[in-house]
Amino acid sequence: MKIHLTSVLVDDQAKAERFYTEILGFVKKHDVPVGEKHRWLTVVSPDELGGTELLLEPAEHPAVKPFRDALIADGIPLAQFAVDDVQAEYERLSNLGVTFTQAPLEMGPVTTAVFDDTCGNLIQIATEPQ
């Protein structure tokens, strides 16, 4: 068994597509219309085009808002992405205008930082020691 697909709930798929591809650097893999206003929209790491897909899923279910509001109020990220160097990625993304709620922080053997994805979520980036 392996993880093939996971999702983040987004307020606006077009905005999420721009952020996740143009700012974060993911590559669009699937973009299939679903109904009149939604899409099956997935992105992947440019380093693993056949790897785990991230579905940019519309956040329309009634349970989403209170769930995400509670996570954000407590500063809890919805997802975590691995990066080679948290400090370098923090600087790159900050220079692109990304807002961080947590600057790089060493937490034992792991360094993390947390940013706002502009689509309703906090996302954590992390580097593990080599």
For the chain, the structural domain boundaries read: 5-127
The yes-or-no verdict on residue 31 having pLDDT over 90 is yes
Per residue in 66-97, pLDDT (tens digit) is 999 999 999 999 999 999 999 999 999 999 99
Per-residue pLDDT band at 130 (split at 50, 70, 90): low
Percentage of the residues of the chain whose pLDDT score is greater than 70? 99
User: Which DSSP state fits 2?
Assistant: -
Q: What is the pLDDT of residue 7?
A: 97
CA distance 83 to 10: 22
CA distance 27 to 49: 8
CATH superfamily placement of domain 5-127: 2,3-Dihydroxybiphenyl 1,2-Dioxygenase, domain 1 (3.10.180.10)
CA distance 126 to 56: 21
Percentage of the residues of the chain whose pLDDT score is greater than 90? 96
CA distance 48 to 57: 21
Specify the DSSP element, H or E, that contains 93.
helix 86-95
